[in-house]
Chain A
Amino acid sequence: MLEVLFIGLSLGSILLLVALGLAITYGAMGVINMAHGEMVMVGAYVTVLSGIWLGTNIFVAIPLAFIVTALLGLLIERVVVRRLYGRLLDTLLATWGIAILIQQAVRLEFGLTFLGIHIQGLGPGLQNVAVPPFLQGTFSILGADINRYRTFIILVTAFLALMTWFIIYRTAIGTQVRAIIRNPKMAAACGIDVTRVNALTFAFGSGLAGVAGVMMSGFKTVFPDMGTSMVVDGFLVVVMGGVGSLLGSVLSAGILGEINGLVAAATNDILARAVVFGVVIAIIVLKPKGLFALKGR
């Protein structure tokens, strides 16, 4: 039983890393970022590529993936999203397009396949990442065999969630982000550079998703489409938790992760996914603003 709860917790951790970025960008900026899942995918590929070309392990990949995806997020915000603030549906379509663009860039190895050049680690195929030996296997607590790698995922997530909490609630820039979530016009009238803060928030959220990708690469195969389902899961967490509420995202990521883990252990993955969708639908019907609503969807 403890093993199953633990698997659920690690699934919830990945969900949380994906959802934290969405919770902030969707909450603060009213942008539906369909390319957020691709940040997970890019983070996973950073792990693959740094393993192959630099010979480094997952610990180097975490900061590297954060930087790469944060910069990519910054670029997307600067070039596209910035021009679409206040146009929710347009952001959805535009970022969906960006998502497809990034997927194809990886699949076609940035177009180099047309020239007959191949980069090891890219392309349409499946990639695998080797986890360092001391993160493999299990250790036992209270008679339960606990997977080391899943423990690692939970610890990294806990650290990043705490760091996010600290930034949002204990720093000046975090106060600015919270002010923008609640009242962007008044925030600007108080001298807050909304455009700049939004860009940084977007980059930070993308970076967290990139780290989620690094974590996922350790126990799932890496392939160009892997981000598509992640963005859906991320939005499920955000909507269920209440838009703009970090605490809500943390709790709903935990709940959905556990439901997924428990049902999957008792039956199978497909049914687990169906139950997760069912629970989210039920919660949206009963509490349309989510568990901890700051504002509606």
Chain B
Amino acid sequence: MLNKLSTIASGIVFLCVSLSLFSQEKKEVKLENYFGDLNARQIGPAVMSGRISDMENHPNDPMIIYAGSAGGGVWKSNNAGTTFYPIFDDHTQSIGALELDPNDPDNTIYVGTGEPWPRNSVSIGDGLYKSTDGGNNWNKIGLENSERIANIIVNPENSDEIYVAVLGALWSDNNERGVFKSTDGGETWENILFLNDSTGCADLAIDPSNPKILYASMWEFRRTAWSFNSGGENSALYKSTDGGENWFKIHKGFPEGKLGRLAIGVSKSNPNTLYTVIESEKNKDKGLYKSTDGGKNWEQKNNDFGITVRPFYFSRIVVDPKDENVVVKAGLYGSISKDGGETFENLGNMHADIHDMVFDINNSDIMYVGTDGGVYRSWNKGVTMEIVENLPLSQFYHISVDNDQPYNIYGGLQDNGSWYGPSFASGGISAKHWNAVGQGDGFRVLRHPAKNIIYSEMQGAENVWRYDVENDLVKTIQPLPVEGYEEYRFNWNTPIETSKNNSDRLYIGSQYVHRSDDTGNTWEIISPDLTTNDPAKQNQEDSGGLSMDNSGAENHTTIFTITESPLNENIIWAGTDDGNIQVTKNGGKSWKNVIGNVSGVPKNTWVYHIEASAHDENTAYVVFDGHTFGDMKAYAYKTNDLGKTWTNIIPDNDVTGFARNIQEDYENPNLLFLGTELGLYISINGGNTWSKFTKNIPPVAIHYIELQSQTNDLVMGTHGRGVIIIDDISPLREINADNLSNKLYFFEKDKFEIQEFGGFSDSFGRETQFFGANPSLSCQIQYLLPKRHTFGKMTMEIQDMDGNKITTLNPGKSKGINTVNWSYNMRTPKIAKAKTLSFGGFTSPTVPAGDYKVVIKKGRDTFEKVIYVSYKNNAKLSNEDRKFQFETIMKLFNMTEELAYMVFVIDELISNENTDYKISSKLDDLKKSLVITTGDNYVGAAKKQLREKMADLYSKVASSYDKPSSNELDNLALIEEQMNLAKKSYTKIIKKINPELMPKKTFDAFINE
């Protein structure tokens, strides 16, 4: 019986346990609704800006210019290109084409996503978007699988008729390509020109005088991770004269054989004049061709380098709308012809790699040019160029951080070298705070863990630099070929790593792992060839198709990621671009390829990043990137046994966009951050589920993530929007169903440091330059709300431990994380009323170090938390000094309020008609010595009286990091003496007054009113 009972009892217990487990699972937190006040800040830089893919201007308003960027969204200018602001931050940031409806250009805008200049590092798009309110709100209206859109044209006579040039997928076949047409404003689409699954429309133009006439250039192209092919039998230039129903080739005068990428430009002033740029088999046939009869006949005009260079990257051709003989061609430097294409000259000095340009609608001397380094303006037809300074479109491949205070961020950029800059700068982080530390394309930039040395590199490890910052000495340290080894194959984006176990150690990956233990002076190869060494993927000199393009960007069968376990220097991981995961547990003596243990990832998928766990030496995370095979799925796996077994940590496929990087939290191993091509994802359950973080992070490609270990700042290198930081992610460690079951949950952090800071910051150029936001230096009180507070009263106070109010704060109301900034301030003193304002009186004292209570009242509930405030003490003051400073401040504070009350009583008596005239007059005389009674707040200011002198000293002492100086104390003595004299006179006069006339309001009531 007993036995049976216990069996039943254990059965019930089991049932209860499983039920509670079930309900736990049911309570899975949908994290994206709880981010609340957790916001990212974008710090640029804009100094080198980033690649622009398309420029567009307003047809009637010369002030309005749009720029579409390769990876940083759409930007609009309302001031003729002086400054820009982003208008597309909720959507895919890789932009192909922009179009304003010529019939409604103020409101109706189209954005085609997916850059059409398909270099190796190009991002992806996800369709066509439309705004009907000038860019404030957007709707996706189709072509989701187009991947890249090269051009959009709205019929100038019919807004419902839209033509779209879909270039289509770069890395794989797909059938959403060619020319699409809508006749209902984008509701439905018809593919009106399709050739095959590998040929897309690279350029599209309309005859401005007859919208039935269209020109479409079709381009056969394909990229793989190891090669690029431009051109084929299907590349051709087509014309339609019936709105796209029928198309015919217009090749009379074209070279024979296969064609590559063709551009088309139609003259607005004479629409029968056309220009095309032809990529063909023979070099002599390449270049600019012109037709003066609407495409019936073509004649080659120019074959210069500037016209024929890298057609896949530079193809755009723009004709001056006012002069058919002025033609501009995109290129390495950009070229302009003023004689109808016979001869060209380079555009003025600016960032190389010019992709698009527009002429001002009224004055063709004014041009806007989009380059790999942002937007440039010219006032003299492209002779002199000036850069737009507030486009933070920097395209990072990698970033890293150091442990300085404030910490610095290091990173390398697409076509823009290597840089480092601070996470905090007085007045904001601007161009002047960034320092160049490399040339060419930049990738890894790493600070030596212990010394003031920076490592950086350029493409293919052609140079790896060791920069001794203190002594301003630069040395190249890339490993050179040595006997006994094959020629090194370095990736375009070569991995370099430092070690957490040996500060002078450095790793570089070719097909071998190279290790140096003396900061790169000597190198040892510690691995065999870890790649597949597949010779079919090693013919980079043949890359390019019709135009050879061996830039090193297609180097393949290389090591792409290396990481040493922070817990064990003998455990090293290496991942290769051709799909191997190699691991050694003996410092490189032997390696094991563990890719065979991973299931669910197609063979040879690029091992993009390996992250060795900070919690366990046998644990690592791997991110795979299959996009170079056209596989856009996000892959991330975790092993706990050095690669013997692997767990898929994106089991629900709840991540959009292929992944490039993963970061594990240092404290909570279940907190993971995943960087994808379309933004940041966060998991708080070790990768069971993922939530997209969108607060001030657009769907931008996140190439690299670091977690700064002292500040808990998540630092991201994006490929199009520079560095983005989420300050202090520690609250994410505590979001769970348990904590959310509280009406209000204070996060654990309770120790805060008052930081003395100051310094100067100039504001020159702030009107037109980009300034990145700083982190808060305040005490950040953070709590979690299970639901947004919308109804009823909610208040927040800081109190001393006896419950006396120090100051009032405005509580956050968001569901999820709330952050309230307290500047460690008390309230400001009550200031005597006068004719003018006392600016010294706007200062509030800083609280002394100690324990304080945060008290939140929400409806009927009260929530309290004790916080501990100490000094960071960069001012190096003793406790006695601090105490004396605070006492002095409060002495002045109290004196100020005493004076305020005195003046209040005087004012009351003067305004009381029962006050004797003579007494009133005496009071008035006294008042004139206490406060200013004339003048204004600026240059009409009157002579300072006691109030101003007192408040000025109060403010001076209260704002200082230092203890009061002897001079300040002498000044205080003087003011005290004046105050005492004033009090004497006051008392003397008051004595004569009938107590009945005295105002009823007490000092305390006056102060607290």
Q: Do A and B truly interact?
A: no
Q: Using a CB–CB distance below 8 Å, which chain B residues touch chain A?
A: none
Q: Using a CB–CB distance below 8 Å, which chain A residues touch chain B?
A: none
